[in-house]
Structure 1
Amino acid sequence: MAATPSALKQRNQKAASTTLPSSTGTSKENNKHGLTKAHSGFSSRKTILSAWATFLGFLLILGIINYQLHYTLPTPVQDATNPVTGEVQFSEESVRKVVRHLAHDIGYRVVGTEQEVEAKEYLIKELAQLKEQSLVAQHRWKGENKATETQDVSFPNFDMWVQVSDGSHRFDFMSKGKTALYANQFSVVVVVVSLLVMKMYTNMTNIIVRLSCGPECDENTILLNSHYDTTLGSPGAVDDGLGVGVMMEIIRVMSQRPSKMKNGIVFLFNGGEESLQDASHAFITQHELKDNVRAVVNLEACGTSGREILFQANSRAMIDAYATVPHPHGTVLANDLFATGLILSDTDYRQFAEHGNLTGLDMAVYKNSYLYHTHLDLDEYMEAGLPQHMGENALALATFLTEKAELTNLEATTSVVFFDVFGLFFVAYSWATALKSHFLIGGLALLTMATPVSRPSVRGTISIFLSFLAAILLPNVSVILLKALGTPMQWFSHEWLSSLLFSPMSLAGMFGVQYLFHDSKASSGANELNTFSSLQLFFTIALASVSYAGLASSYVFALFTLSTTIALFINYRKVAQESKNGSEVLSVDFSTYFIASIIPSSYLAFVIFSVLDIFIPLTGRIGVDAPVDNIVAVLTGFLTFVFCPPVLAFSHRFGRTVLKHIVIGLLVIHLLIVLLSSATSSAYDELHPKRVFVQHVRNMTSGESGLYIAHADPGPFYEPYVTKVETLFNEISTFRSAEANPGDWSAIYPFNQFLESYVIDTTPYIKAQTKNQTISESQEPLTTFVQQTPRLTAEKISYDPSTGLRKLTVLCTHPNYIWTVASFDTHLTSWSLTSSEPFTHHSHYVIRHVGTFASDGWSLELEYKASGPEDKLTVELTSMETEGFGKDEERELIGSGEIGVMRKVLKNAPSWVALTYFGTTVDRFQL
């Protein structure tokens, strides 16, 4: 039975009245109560420093151990076969050969370019060779094991398809297409808008391999997916050349060894993920194998080093399968976090879940995502051991799922708690089991509160809550100071720097609250015990609240509650045993802090490394209006608080005066660190670059030719970079906001939502550089001389006066252009796209089309409400040029000679800038 608030208050008052004052009693008597000399007023500076150094040193050791556990990768294997046994084995070197060819020899594999076709042909050739090698291995094995050959063990059948499909699907970024988020320094406004974004694709290509034991295996298969295309501006070594290489190596290993297969496995090398998941949509909605796929494992990357993490899972059976991997790394914390939409990313996993109703696992490399989607995503920056880590995990999954798993009747669920323990083993249990354990842990905590073991109070619990608020809010003072010094985002270049910049202020806030709540009438020991006990009550309340909300991440609060409860119980036993005069236990033994901290602080250290690895680089691409300094300050404050909450009780150990000195010391340390960092560090460097987007736009309607420059974070931009580009072209830029000009960057939806522009008129530069005298002396717009631009025409036009509906077929031709975007406003009543219905009211529509190389057109039937037969539809068409993806080619206006606009920008880019560059034409058509 739990103590009532009034009983807690009475007991706390009793504790205060019966506690020995710090100035009375002998050292011997105080030590009987588990008190050090510091509690009796005789503490020396040496005693205080020794105690703090011991406790903080203990926490530091936990951090170092977890750092080693977190970042240690398996030793890369070079040989394709085991030199001792002669058996095939997973080889990192084999993976890297694939990655190097894709990223270095071929380069940027953007959908619609020749490089994409080259990558497809390379993979088909390599897979055909693997098929031949499989047959050779099979014949050799049969010859060597003819006497022992059984029907249970055999080599898998090796089947292969190349799928080429057309289709369409709706793509709302992170499933939030109807919501626009506008933020500034002071506020965030959510505006509901009528916006429908559709994707059309033509000749989208997939390469598919199936390994199976025959018809009995073909009925139930597992899907392993990765993509071989790349985004603009990136050679895609890790994203997703690594996934492709891992799948190639798994095929080699599985196809060249005998096994007891009960389920088939399908390997999907999809050719269009970066174009907004078109190829995965084509497979799961159109391919003949789709109906036999029961679950999916998706291999992705948004970083270049460290472990890959399981960050999405929606099936207990698949989570249990993941528990068999040799290097587990995943937590339901990531699953819950990704579900919130705070992480601005998405994967093919979405298509398989939405359109195939599949359960599965989404795994991705995530550390060092500074290089993600940049020109630095190269093999040389892929950490040694990473391919081995991902490969051994994926191979173990594939082996288990094909040989032992039951793939029938898989049910989707989020009611599973799962997490790895220091990357050594994996824990998974149901939400029902979690609730039972939380009930027992909470009940045990309440039971101790009803006894002398724990002595919480309302006052103490409020102090814990206020310390939490101070921990996450006070680091924003550091943000104000950094901005006043003109050095925002100092923490960006190194994940750990955020802890140095913000944690001292967070700790000062936490301890400052405890200073205000320290009861001078009670002994330091009584203050310690009360605070420690209040921590237990605080986490018990948090556990109950989060469990009631149904969040599987509540297991972390269970860990805190259980640890504090066990520590308090051991403390009571130890202090009571040492007490010879039968006095009440009103102190905290020094060892109690180690007992309470060792498990949760160890686990949280491991998690904190992951959180910083994800969120610090992420802030470099979430938009110029995002208050990233404040976000990181709050995040760091939160992590500081949860790393070791018992330190709040420890802060009372040597009295109020010492606590005040600690707060002052932390403030001084904070100021020195901020000043030193601002004087010696910069937000960006070559391996932690600022993301800059540059497009050369030729507006065929207005006749303008301009260089549009944008960035993806609120860090320094105009003064260090835009002014340099202005000098290069001897032109002053004009600013264009994203809100007022949402179509400026339509070619790279959904990121156009976050990009504001500085526009430089390139007409004077082009006229000065061209060797074509006609153009240099002409007064006509430069766009007059551009030929073979994309066109929209209307056919089969009709108007029904009885219904007021106008019909037409829109035809688009775009030779030598890719990634066209058509946008218009109207009240559509129907269209030829079958994957989604238009809105029932007047709305804004964006239709993106991509196609493989030589796909130079598309058509679309529309019907809309019109005022008459001449009420034409106004459509804006944005089209992207194909030149320059990774080859540094100059742009060319046909008939004008070479124009070095983009080359000039590229060659003069500073090392701390990562450029994504392309050229577009924009035109308007009345149809």
Structure 2
Amino acid sequence: MDALNALKQRHFTNPFDNDEDHLHQISIFSPETLVDAAIRSHSRSNSKSKSVSVDYDDYSKSSKKRRSTFSNIKAILTAWGIFIGFLALILAVVYQIHYRLPAPVYEGMNPVSGKLQFSEENVRQVVRHMTRNIGYRVVGTDQELETKNYLIRELSNLKENARLERLRGSHDLPHFDMWVQVGDGSHRFDFMSKVVMKMYTNMTNIIVRLSCGPECDQNSILLNAHYDTTLGSPGAADDALGCGVMMEIIRIMSLRPAPKKNSVVFLFNGGEESLQDASHSFITSHELKDNIRAVVNLEACGTSGPEILFQANSRVMIDAYRTVPYPHGTVLANDLFATGLILSDTDFRQFVDHGNLTGLDMAVYKNSYLYHTHLDLDEFLEEGLPQHMGENTLALATYLTEEANLVNLERTSSVVFFDIFGLFFVSYSWTTAIRLHILVGGLSLFTVATQASRPTVRSTLSILLSFVVALLLPNFSVVLLKALGSPMQWFSHEWLSMALFGPMALAGMFGIQYLFHDKKASNGANELNTLSGLQMFFTFALAAVSYVGLASSYVFALFTICVTTALVFNHKKAAINLKDNREVTHVDLATYFIASLLPTAYFSFVCFSLLDMFIPLTGRIGVDAPVDHIVAVMSGFITFVFCPPVLAFSHRFGRAVLKRIILGLVVAHLIMVLISSTVIHPYDELHPKRVFVQHLRNMTSGESVLYLAHADPGPFYEPYVTEIESMFKTDAKFRSGSANPSDWNAIYPFNQFLESYVLDTTPYIRSQTTNKTISESTAPLTDLIQGAPKLIAENISYDPETGLRRLTVLCTHPDYIWTVANFDTHLASWSLGSSDPFPYATHYVIRHVGGYVSDGWRVDLEYYATGPEDKLRIELTAMETEGFGRDTERELEGSGEIGVMKRIVKSRPLWTTLTYFSILTDMFEL
């Protein structure tokens, strides 16, 4: 019986310690198993003795072995089932919380209380009109003018309603002022490692101010949204939604008492997609610019889920965000966006760079498959999304006008902020963060000193290597998928990336633990050492990231404190269970729940956002981007951070069981890869491949050609280009983007991500025209084009002493928009006052965008020349005004219905989305 009691004490929590050949049932033992174990233990201690005898009349040796094996399997499955079930429950709950949105409100006034309330339906009315009735609102088109007139009309109605309400006796309503700004200007725009010089003319802004009078107007908060759209998109979320939200806030705030402290300015800017021209015009030249103290920017790169606070640069504005009813934001997003990995930008840049403002940048980001596509429509805006953005923005506007001190706001990145499951918002200074991190690190070291934590170099190193392998090993899956001809297999289903790459990452993590499992120590000791090593890993990471001053280091503090708390609990539990003063080295099952609960819940919440943001992004970051490897590494990272304590748990049943788990994960991975590559296509109607199409007419060469390009490394030629070849009865020629950088100058600098297939459309046009002169002529079709854009030079001079040649370049482009001039030279000066030219010879790109009825521009240049005849060679590209959502295209005069682009649009496969336009290019020597 002494042997039996000793065995009970040793194996009460983890009976698998130090015995891989004979697995025992965890925590619950049948009497037969205990007797059998006691006999085996006594037999080992008395190997020479033959005196032990137990009557097994009721059991044969084979039945005992089967029963023991069954108990062992049941114990393993029970333990893993409990742990995995616990994690699955967390995941399910967090999923529901993460994607929850408020219920839409359909009435602008509460029918019970009679108070004004934010109405999603009012927002949707604005969005529907802008997207359905007007459509693609590209700067310079008729639709831009329609949108401008619509917004002015609606805002004037709101102003008139406020005036009438004041006449009815509501004398404390705010002053309602309106401006329509039309301006010219220029600015330098650095984006995607390229430098673009921007010029704009007739750029329109519509501005509304609500205030209590002059005493409020000295300090204003700015709310900004843009009403223009990019090429190929009706822009429901981006950014008719923001305009509709601001319109509804104006309705509410104009009918309630005036703000007590600060005024609020609403900017409906008419040129964000043209590279932020309208916001630049406002913040550099409008009469209100000097009174703006902070900005709240409303944007979108998705159509569903809550909007996220992803940029914030002052403590006052971050604290103001505490007042919103549905907070969703983290400094993690702030730090991530600052790296430039997310290929996107907003007007927030102009307000910060040119207005020296602080503020908040908020955007809808989920389901960005539809971002900048023809599917950015009202019907795809998730129910509750306008309500979420609207109530949050209204709460911000109310607080900032009623209570906030907007004087002397200072820009800072040293603020930690994050939401807790969309319920609470936490923010504190970097000084506070450092103190907390020191406390957390000190507690971690204290547990080591008290033996509650028992890290070793071996166990800590195993955690580090598990992390590295989790990032690297999923790339094996990429090689396998490409060998099967299935790149980007995961694209249309965010979760599929985890199903494809997660098992390999987990197998790699467990593989490292298998190699580092100490055979000389018990399984329980391996568990405790590994969990302690995990604590040290995060403690060291916390120290390192805090040292470099990264506010996102709070996540390492969360991991560290939770594992530390779990180890303290485990130590106390072991002390309670200790009966005979023997040292106990095992990990209680509840310890894993404590170590995992908060980190797993929080990082599940964060990782949902990470997948929602990055998976769709891979469809537009370029044909040369290793997107499969990027997603594989990201999936490995998510696998690791989801529940790091599982690394310690993997030791619970010894190396033999761990080996079988690793093999099972590898097999599951192979099955998943094979099934996926067989039955899943990377694209579908709501997860489309982005295809870029331009019909180019080259005035210099006389060519009329069609360019087809894509922006990701997924399948393109076989399913799509071959179909276009058949349609136009001609073969396509491949053109590398790197070897032909000027092919897509019309959308510079985005052209660097494209590679093209080019088809000659001249035979098709000749076969379709009803004009015999054209069909039978061999002259270039471009000879028929009239009113083409022109460059001319005036005021030409040359100074032989300085070697400087001066000229004024004039461009005329009636009926064309978005001109791009590019040239190579060594400029000494120019008339673009926003920045100086480079002090060396280089390539320049000047993009000009004009508002409606803007058909020309001019620029003065001075450059180093070898003589008066050393002319400047400029290539000019201009975009047609037709074809933006109305499926029309300029016809060659007298050629009849040609419709090259029209046919492309109508034949579009459902799994693609088109960004399409027609351009004309010419070369000038001035």
Q: TM-score range by the shorter chain?
A: over 0.9
Equivalent in the alignment of 1:190? none
Asked whether the equivalents of residues 230 and 236 of structure 1 are also in contact (C-alpha less than 8 Å), the reply is: yes
Equivalent in the alignment of 2:75? 47
Paired amino acid for 1:167: G
Q: Secondary structure at the match of 1:792?
A: strand
1:633 aligns with 2:661: no
Asked whether the equivalents of residues 101 and 388 of structure 2 are also in contact (C-alpha less than 8 Å), the reply is: yes
Task: Give the superposition deviation at 1:138.
Answer: 2.9
Q: Secondary structure at the match of 1:893?
A: coil
Asked whether the equivalents of residues 567 and 593 of structure 1 are also in contact (C-alpha less than 8 Å), the reply is: yes
Equivalent in the alignment of 2:188? 170
Equivalent in the alignment of 2:14? 35
Equivalent in the alignment of 2:408? 409
Task: Give the superposition deviation at 1:135.
Answer: 1.8
- Over the residues paired in the alignment, what is the CA RMSD in angstroms? 1.2
User: d(CA) in 2 for partners of 1:36 and 1:203?
Assistant: 79
Asked whether the equivalents of residues 822 and 877 of structure 1 are also in contact (C-alpha less than 8 Å), the reply is: yes
Asked whether the equivalents of residues 30 and 37 of structure 1 are also in contact (C-alpha less than 8 Å), the reply is: no
Q: Secondary structure at the match of 1:78?
A: coil
1:80 aligns with 2:60: no
Equivalent in the alignment of 2:176? 158
Residue deviations 1:478-532 (CA, integer Å, cap 9, x gap)? 1111111111111100111111111011100000110111112211100000000
Asked whether the equivalents of residues 138 and 144 of structure 2 are also in contact (C-alpha less than 8 Å), the reply is: yes
User: d(CA) in 2 for partners of 1:139 and 1:430?
Assistant: 48
User: d(CA) in 2 for partners of 1:85 and 1:259?
Assistant: 20
Equivalent in the alignment of 1:310? 309
User: d(CA) in 1 for partners of 2:850 and 2:233?
Assistant: 19
Q: Secondary structure at the match of 2:168?
A: helix
Task: Give the superposition deviation at 1:890.
Answer: 3.5
Stretches of structure 1 that go unaligned for 5 or more consecutive residues are: 1-22, 143-148, 178-195
Equivalent in the alignment of 2:91? 63
Equivalent in the alignment of 2:143? 115
Asked whether the equivalents of residues 369 and 687 of structure 2 are also in contact (C-alpha less than 8 Å), the reply is: yes
Task: Give the superposition deviation at 1:38.
Answer: 7.0
User: d(CA) in 1 for partners of 2:187 and 2:260?
Assistant: 35
Q: Number of paired residues?
A: 875
Asked whether the equivalents of residues 482 and 488 of structure 1 are also in contact (C-alpha less than 8 Å), the reply is: yes
Asked whether the equivalents of residues 542 and 556 of structure 2 are also in contact (C-alpha less than 8 Å), the reply is: yes
Paired amino acid for 1:704: E
Paired amino acid for 2:428: Y
* 1:701-712 equivalent positions in 2, closer than 5 A: 701-712=700-711
Paired amino acid for 1:35: N
Task: Give the superposition deviation at 1:665.
Answer: 0.5
User: d(CA) in 1 for partners of 2:219 and 2:230?
Assistant: 33
Task: Give the superposition deviation at 1:36.
Answer: 4.0
Paired amino acid for 2:770: K
Q: Secondary structure at the match of 2:210?
A: strand
Task: Give the superposition deviation at 1:583.
Answer: 1.4
Task: Give the superposition deviation at 1:451.
Answer: 2.0
* 1:865-884 equivalent positions in 2, closer than 5 A: 865-884=864-883
User: d(CA) in 2 for partners of 1:387 and 1:473?
Assistant: 40
Paired amino acid for 1:91: S
Paired amino acid for 1:797: I
User: d(CA) in 1 for partners of 2:460 and 2:253?
Assistant: 57
Q: Secondary structure at the match of 2:599?
A: helix
Deviates more, 1:669-678 or 1:216-225: 669-678
Paired amino acid for 1:162: V
Equivalent in the alignment of 1:731? 730
1:530 aligns with 2:529: yes
Paired amino acid for 2:184: D
Paired amino acid for 1:161: W
1:886 aligns with 2:868: no
Normalised by the size of structure 2, how large is the TM-score?
0.94
Asked whether the equivalents of residues 137 and 257 of structure 1 are also in contact (C-alpha less than 8 Å), the reply is: no
Residue deviations 1:381-404 (CA, integer Å, cap 9, x gap)? 000000000000000000000000
Residue deviations 1:229-253 (CA, integer Å, cap 9, x gap)? 0000000001000000000000001
Q: Secondary structure at the match of 1:915?
A: strand
Task: Give the superposition deviation at 1:749.
Answer: 1.7
Task: Give the superposition deviation at 1:753.
Answer: 1.2
Normalised by the size of structure 1, how large is the TM-score?
0.93
1:343 aligns with 2:342: yes
Task: Give the superposition deviation at 1:25.
Answer: 8.1
Paired amino acid for 1:163: Q
User: d(CA) in 2 for partners of 1:724 and 1:704?
Assistant: 22
Task: Give the superposition deviation at 1:909.
Answer: 1.2
Equivalent in the alignment of 1:502? 501
Q: Secondary structure at the match of 1:575?
A: helix
Q: Secondary structure at the match of 1:889?
A: coil
Task: Give the superposition deviation at 1:289.
Answer: 0.0
Asked whether the equivalents of residues 212 and 258 of structure 2 are also in contact (C-alpha less than 8 Å), the reply is: no
Task: Give the superposition deviation at 1:765.
Answer: 0.5
* 1:895-906 equivalent positions in 2, closer than 5 A: 895-906=894-905
Residue deviations 1:63-117 (CA, integer Å, cap 9, x gap)? 1111111101000000011101111110000000000000010000000000000
1:105 aligns with 2:104: no
Equivalent in the alignment of 2:784? 785
Q: Classify 1:446/1:38 alpha carbon distance in 2 versus 1 (closer, same or farther; 3 Å).
A: closer
Asked whether the equivalents of residues 27 and 37 of structure 1 are also in contact (C-alpha less than 8 Å), the reply is: no
Task: Give the superposition deviation at 1:39.
Answer: 6.8
Residue deviations 1:833-883 (CA, integer Å, cap 9, x gap)? 100100111111100001111100001111111111111100000000011
Q: Secondary structure at the match of 1:546?
A: helix
Equivalent in the alignment of 2:762? 763
Paired amino acid for 2:162: S
Equivalent in the alignment of 1:293? 292
Equivalent in the alignment of 1:7? none
Equivalent in the alignment of 1:186? none
User: d(CA) in 1 for partners of 2:126 and 2:471?
Assistant: 45
Paired amino acid for 2:764: Y
Task: Give the superposition deviation at 1:781.
Answer: 1.0
Q: Secondary structure at the match of 2:891?
A: strand
Task: Give the superposition deviation at 1:643.
Answer: 0.8
Residue deviations 1:678-731 (CA, integer Å, cap 9, x gap)? 111100000000000000000000111100011010000011111111111111
User: d(CA) in 1 for partners of 2:422 and 2:100?
Assistant: 10
Equivalent in the alignment of 1:602? 601
Task: Give the superposition deviation at 1:897.
Answer: 2.0
User: d(CA) in 2 for partners of 1:49 and 1:259?
Assistant: 65
User: d(CA) in 1 for partners of 2:705 and 2:655?
Assistant: 65
* 1:548-697 equivalent positions in 2, closer than 5 A: 548-697=547-696
Equivalent in the alignment of 1:180? none
Asked whether the equivalents of residues 500 and 669 of structure 2 are also in contact (C-alpha less than 8 Å), the reply is: yes
Asked whether the equivalents of residues 211 and 265 of structure 1 are also in contact (C-alpha less than 8 Å), the reply is: yes
Asked whether the equivalents of residues 11 and 17 of structure 2 are also in contact (C-alpha less than 8 Å), the reply is: no
Q: Secondary structure at the match of 2:504?
A: helix
Asked whether the equivalents of residues 211 and 259 of structure 2 are also in contact (C-alpha less than 8 Å), the reply is: no
Asked whether the equivalents of residues 877 and 923 of structure 1 are also in contact (C-alpha less than 8 Å), the reply is: yes
Asked whether the equivalents of residues 16 and 654 of structure 2 are also in contact (C-alpha less than 8 Å), the reply is: no
Question: Considering only CA atoms, is the larger Rg found in Structure 1 or Structure 2?
Answer: 2
Q: Secondary structure at the match of 1:463?
A: helix
Paired amino acid for 2:108: A
Task: Give the superposition deviation at 1:407.
Answer: 0.3
Task: Give the superposition deviation at 1:447.
Answer: 1.3
Deviates more, 1:132-141 or 1:797-806: 132-141
Residue deviations 1:356-408 (CA, integer Å, cap 9, x gap)? 00000000000000000000000000000000000000000000000000000
Equivalent in the alignment of 2:420? 421
Task: Give the superposition deviation at 1:449.
Answer: 1.1
1:266 aligns with 2:294: no
* 1:690-839 equivalent positions in 2, closer than 5 A: 690-839=689-838
